[in-house]
Amino acid sequence: MNSWRWIRVIFAYVVAIAAIEVQAFTQILFSVEGGDPLYLNSLRAGPLYSMFGIALIGLTIMSIINLARSAYIAPSEIVRRQLMTLVSATVITGLIGPVSLISSGLNLFPMPMVVMSAVLMVFVSMVGYGVARYSALVEKRTIDRDFFYNLIGISIVVALYTLASWALVFYYRAPNVIVILIPLLGVLTHTILNAASRFLDQFFYHGDTRHLRTNLHNLRKLAGESESMKVLLEQILGVLCGPIKASYGLILSHQNGTARQIAEFHWKWSRVELPIHLLNADDLLHLEPNFLPAPLENAALLVPLYFESEQVGTLLLGHPVNGVRFANVDVDRLLYPADQIAEALYINRQNTEHLEQIAEIANKPLPAPVDQSNIPVQVTENVLRNLSDYLYLADSPVAEMKIVKAYLAGGRKTHVERGKAVHSIVLKALEQMKPDEENPPNPLSREWYPYTILHEAYVKGIQNRDIMGKLYISEGTFNRTRRAAILSLARILVEMDLSG
């Protein structure tokens, strides 16, 4: 913020504080005369009223200019929307000036005090909503549904308690103050009800029962999270596509053999649904024209969204508005956000599946039979994760390979021995990925990455962060290399089975 903007902000606060102090100790802004105190007309303009009115209008205009300029240069769409909410609230607050002029200055017609209070209430509500919405977006969630849900609930509670209070005042001559106190107490008690219930659970329930009640409470909140995903992803997509000047952007979620569009940026055509095989890729791809069917024939970049070894979605970008191909530096900026989007898609899909299982009270379908000519990557990864569990290995689809049966021919064929055979064959396949160099360089060259990652992660059990530190690579590079290495190991196992 430059010095001139600082001066405007400080001047605005000085004017506001001075007006409060002057009116609190003198009557030179307003002087109270006779009349109904519920109407603004009971106040008459004092000697400094005109100066105060001009300063109030100037304060409003300067605030709007300051917020509008901040919104214009905001670094992201999330911040920009937050500032535009504050601009709208400030414009509404500026209505206090004309309302005061009409009632106290010109005394044209009676103006209830509640009008001023209503204008201020709208301002406070908009600011509160904007702050809560921004905080929620920072925490990767939205509050639109929760906001209106709770607003309607609280409005019903207030209306019922207000009617009951008026009935007590009218029929039983109760003090008028209960019309304010009882609705406020009603809102307070309903607000703390859920928190009080969870607190009391600690005393009345123990062990698994309390844990179950906590999970059910969390599940209730989870039921609305998936519908907020589209809003969050579009916010992120706008931030990604803006700096690199992509003509459009799409995020597609992979599920049940179909890639479905769930978020878009500057997309003018109908919603996209494609077979997954058209978008499957081990790494990002610069696309040639007509690589994908219409209306995606001009897509310029395909970024696969992987969570561990599974492609859960795809990020598609149209050609840059100032060129035909994205620069390498722009592509590098997408890698880390792409990993975060992939993780969000995976978690959202898992949450959706859990909710569907609970709603339908159904088990997941049994996995399809494994084609031994093409071992799925997930099967290979599960074998690596359970490499020391011979019982698991004996039951895995890899144990049905011909090379395992040949390995056991003529020897003991117990369940454990079959698991040991799978263990030995997987280690032999892994050794085939080892480069031919007898003395590995230090630091290790790129050709050593696949073997080193698999051997140290699954054979030695070393933590991922330690492996990344040893190889001097980022988490995104580690995940992509591990995914490609597991795919290579699966192919080696198939080749060993065909040749043996």
Kindly state whether residues 298 and 341 are assigned to the same domain.
yes
Instruction: Give the pLDDT confidence score for residue 192 in this predicted structure.
Output: 84
What mean pLDDT is predicted for residues 15-32? Answer: 63
CA neighbor of 216 nearest in space, from 98, 109, 358: 358
CA neighbor of 179 nearest in space, from 187, 189, 167, 190: 167
Instruction: Give the pLDDT confidence score for residue 112 in this predicted structure.
Output: 75
Kindly state whether residues 25 and 133 are assigned to the same domain.
yes
Q: Which helix (H) or strand (E) holds 32?
A: strand 30-32
**DSSP 8-state class, residue 42:** G
Kindly state whether residues 421 and 339 are assigned to the same domain.
no
* Residue 49 binned pLDDT confidence (cut-offs 50, 70, 90): low
Instruction: Give the pLDDT confidence score for residue 361 in this predicted structure.
Output: 52
Q: Evaluate whether residue 274 is within a structural domain.
A: yes
**Residues ≥6 apart with Cβ < 8 Å to 400:** 370, 372
**Residues ≥6 apart with Cβ < 8 Å to 483:** 282, 306, 308, 309, 377
Q: Evaluate whether residue 451 is within a structural domain.
A: yes
Please say if the pLDDT value at position 354 is more than 70: no
Q: Kindly state the tokens that stand for 336.
A: 């880390």
What mean pLDDT is predicted for residues 450-465? Answer: 89
Q: Evaluate whether residue 357 is within a structural domain.
A: no
**Residues ≥6 apart with Cβ < 8 Å to 143:** 132, 133, 136
Distances 436 to 73, 222, 448 between C-alpha atoms, Å: 55, 51, 10
Q: Evaluate whether residue 109 is within a structural domain.
A: yes
| CA 136 from centre of chain | 9
More confident residue, 152 or 11: 152
Query: Lowest-pLDDT range, 133-142, 168-177, 345-354, 398-407?
Result: 133-142
Query: Lowest-pLDDT range, 49-58, 115-124, 153-162?
Result: 49-58
Single pTM value for the model: 0.45
Kindly state whether residues 482 and 414 are assigned to the same domain.
yes
More confident residue, 119 or 166: 166
Residue ending a domain, among 93, 109, 139, is 139
Kindly state whether residues 126 and 30 are assigned to the same domain.
yes
**Residues ≥6 apart with Cβ < 8 Å to 155:** none
**DSSP 8-state class, residue 59:** H
Kindly state whether residues 427 and 386 are assigned to the same domain.
yes
Kindly state whether residues 450 and 477 are assigned to the same domain.
yes
State how far the Cα of 441 lies from the Cα of 86, in Å rounded to an integer. 58
Give percent of the chain with pLDDT exceeding 70: 77
Q: Kindly state the tokens that stand for 424.
A: 């030995």
Query: Buried b / exposed e across 256-294, counting CB within 10 Å, b at 16+?
Result: eeebebbbbbebeeeebebeeeebeeeebeebeeeebee
More confident residue, 285 or 6: 285
Instruction: Give the pLDDT confidence score for residue 313 in this predicted structure.
Output: 93
Instruction: Give the pLDDT confidence score for residue 322 in this predicted structure.
Output: 82
Kindly state whether residues 282 and 312 are assigned to the same domain.
yes
Per DSSP (E only), the strands in 229-319 are 249-255, 258-265, 273-275, 285-286, 299-307, 310-318
| CA 173 from centre of chain | 53
State how far the Cα of 302 lies from the Cα of 156, in Å rounded to an integer. 50
Kindly state whether residues 209 and 275 are assigned to the same domain.
no
Work out the mean pLDDT of the chain and round it to a whole number: 79
Give the largest CA-CA distance in the chain: 112
Give percent of the chain with pLDDT exceeding 90: 9
Instruction: Give the pLDDT confidence score for residue 40 in this predicted structure.
Output: 63
State how far the Cα of 87 lies from the Cα of 89, in Å rounded to an integer. 5
Question: How many domains does the chain divide into?
Answer: 4
Residue ending a domain, among 105, 139, 173, is 139
Distances 499 to 329, 373, 401, 493 between C-alpha atoms, Å: 44, 12, 12, 10
Kindly state whether residues 20 and 127 are assigned to the same domain.
yes
Instruction: Give the pLDDT confidence score for residue 356 in this predicted structure.
Output: 65
Q: Evaluate whether residue 359 is within a structural domain.
A: no
Kindly state whether residues 134 and 199 are assigned to the same domain.
no
Does residue 320 have a cis bond before it (omega within 30 degrees)?
A: no
Residue ending a domain, among 222, 254, 282, is 222
State how far the Cα of 220 lies from the Cα of 232, in Å rounded to an integer. 20
Going across the sheet that includes 285-286, the strands are: 273-275, 258-265, 249-255, 310-318, 299-307, 285-286
Please say if the pLDDT value at position 24 is more than 90: no
Instruction: Give the pLDDT confidence score for residue 369 in this predicted structure.
Output: 45
| CATH number for position 291 | 3.30.450.40
Query: Lowest-pLDDT range, 117-121, 253-257, 337-341?
Result: 117-121
Query: Lowest-pLDDT range, 22-26, 115-119, 353-357, 424-428?
Result: 22-26
Instruction: Give the pLDDT confidence score for residue 206 in this predicted structure.
Output: 74
What mean pLDDT is predicted for residues 416-430? Answer: 88
Q: Evaluate whether residue 71 is within a structural domain.
A: yes
What mean pLDDT is predicted for residues 56-73? Answer: 80
Highest mean pLDDT among 66-80, 121-135, 183-197: 183-197
What mean pLDDT is predicted for residues 296-313? Answer: 90
Q: Evaluate whether residue 367 is within a structural domain.
A: no
Please say if the pLDDT value at position 29 is more than 60: no
State how far the Cα of 172 lies from the Cα of 163, in Å rounded to an integer. 14
Q: Evaluate whether residue 70 is within a structural domain.
A: yes
Around Cβ 430, how many Cβ atoms within 10 Å? 22
What mean pLDDT is predicted for residues 328-347? Answer: 86
Range of the domain at 334: 241-349
Instruction: Give the pLDDT confidence score for residue 312 in this predicted structure.
Output: 92
CA neighbor of 23 nearest in space, from 12, 15, 35, 11: 15
What mean pLDDT is predicted for residues 147-157? Answer: 80
Kindly state whether residues 194 and 80 are assigned to the same domain.
no
Please say if the pLDDT value at position 374 is more than 60: yes
The residue with tokens 């409003």 is 60
